[in-house]
Amino acid sequence: MAEATAPPSFEDRFWSSADGLKLHYRDYPGDSGRLPVICLPGLTRNARDFETLAAHLSGERRVLCPDMRGRGDSDYAKDPMTYLPITYVADIEALLADQGIERFVAVGTSLGGLMTMLLAFANPSRLAGAVLNDVGPEVSAAGIERIRSYVGQGRSFPTWMHAARALQDAQGDVYPDFSIADWLVMAKRVMTLGSGGRIVFDYDMKIAQPFANPSQGGAPGAAAPDMWPAWRAMGGRPVLVLRGENSDILERQAAEAMIATVPGSRLVTIPRVGHAPTLDEPAAVAAIDALLASADAAAGLSGNQRVA
């Protein structure tokens, strides 16, 4: 994992959900003549997941990295049963409306990729391109059970080094090439200093409640029982599917079927990584750069035409 060599330049901003939550996003400035990028994080993750990618892209284009409800600096939901993909999509719709963003490229990791498909299904014309990071219309039951086994556990640690070691113990097979410095970077992305002075995971433990019960729409894909129509709605624009070589969420056969059903989509496998690539990997960054160049070209943009 590569960490940004200098603090990225972004503004902390907020928008409101339909049910009155104050939601946070990082706003990285960039050329208004290029397509903006919306980065959508995974189930237990937050805006910091994209800090290296956003720093790489900013300046050339605007990048928005939201904390979904119950994560990071966004309010926790009063009703934990709103922790569902359909609600997250509504929250992003509110952000797009608030900022007057009519066309954009989405980069979605895991849950964020499912949200991207649902956004495309609802209004495909506004999606100028997309990156789905280690997720698709079919997800492995074994991988979902692994995630369900740890979400909402609420562990805490006395120091950042203890937190990093705990992540290494739990996810060493996902990122086998990580050094302890990499695990420290990861810990500071997914955790925060809690009110009691201990290091805690930076999300509402109650997000586990709907996720634990598939009948309540908790499992990825349950927001739309058949996600293949949402995937096919991604056609007609540049689409990149990133897959961790050792992923237990997006199986190779499912990823290949995705590419076969959406002409022009591209599959890039990130070696020696499980679920999910961090998007700091050189192969991932190069593939995303190429996707964005294709999306700009398809939209007829060269850096001097304003995007709404």
Domains of the chain: 11-142+214-298 (3.40.50.1820)
Distance CA 155, CA 138 (A): 30
Distance CA 77, CA 18 (A): 12
* pLDDT at residue 213 in the model: 64
For helices 85-99 and 111-122, give the axis angle rounded to 10 degrees. Answer: 60
Strands in 63-66's sheet, in edge-to-edge order, are 11-16, 22-28, 63-66, 37-40, 104-109, 127-133, 239-244, 266-270
* pLDDT at residue 301 in the model: 81
At 144 the three-state DSSP class reads: helix
Which residues contact residue 267 at a Cβ distance below 8 angstroms, ignoring those fewer than 6 apart? Answer: 241, 243, 255, 256, 258, 259
* pLDDT at residue 214 in the model: 54
- Output the pTM of the full model: 0.93
Helix extents (H) in the chain: 51-57, 85-99, 111-122, 141-150, 160-171, 180-190, 208-211, 228-232, 252-261, 282-298
DSSP state of 274: -
* pLDDT at residue 282 in the model: 97
CB contact at 8 A, 48 and 189: yes
Q: Which two tokens stand for residue 170?
A: 């739990």
* pLDDT at residue 154 in the model: 86
Distance CA 192, CA 181 (A): 17
Q: Which residues pair with 267 in a beta bridge?
A: 241
CB contact at 8 A, 209 and 70: no
Low-confidence ranges of the chain (pLDDT < 70): 1-8, 213-225, 302-308
Per-residue pLDDT tens digits for 240-267 = 999 999 999 999 999 999 999 999 999 9
**Long-range contacts of 160-163, Cβ-Cβ distance < 8 Å, separation of 24 or more:** 160/184, 160/187, 160/188, 160/199, 162/199, 163/187, 163/191, 163/199
* pLDDT at residue 212 in the model: 73
